[in-house]
Structure 1
């Protein structure tokens, strides 16, 4: 059974988020990426593989080296989803605020 990966799975892991942030600055080879983490190179390679499967990075060969480059346009899916959530909750909080003001103003004054 093949695992379907998406951008949300990619950013769910803090190591992968760090890799994305590093690659957003400049292209790096796998060794340069791995040097920034206290895990095995094999673990970093797995993170890079997942990021590649999700379309957030591409690997390009330059001579004998393989360089990873960020492809951040896929993060638009996350931004769109976050905006929908923000809009949903903003409407709920606005409605709650109106309701609280209404019941506060209809409260009978104490003598």
Structure 2
């Protein structure tokens, strides 16, 4: 029997499918997507914002480029970081990757 004949033997045309049953898989996928991807990502972003807002003078930091240093000055959108004795860099707060505690150098 050809495949075309099998396809024509599908569900009778007189029955209507429940619209909710058609959208249920899509709704379930969206719910799973929200709880496993969107929500954890939002929590992580909120924690990062709090970390950046809490930066203060004397904190050890690491930038997204891998530069390690100690914060010597904090401005509204940037920090001044002492990388080595006599070497200071001005870095945007958005470029901070990790903020440690107070340094003891």
TM-score range, shorter chain: 0.3 to 0.5
**Greater fraction of residues in helix:** 1
The TM-score with structure 2 as length reference comes to 0.36
Q: Pick the structure with more strand per residue.
A: 2
Question: Greater relative contact order: 1 or 2 (C-alpha under 8 angstroms, separation 6 or more)?
Answer: 1
What TM-score, normalized to structure 1? 0.34
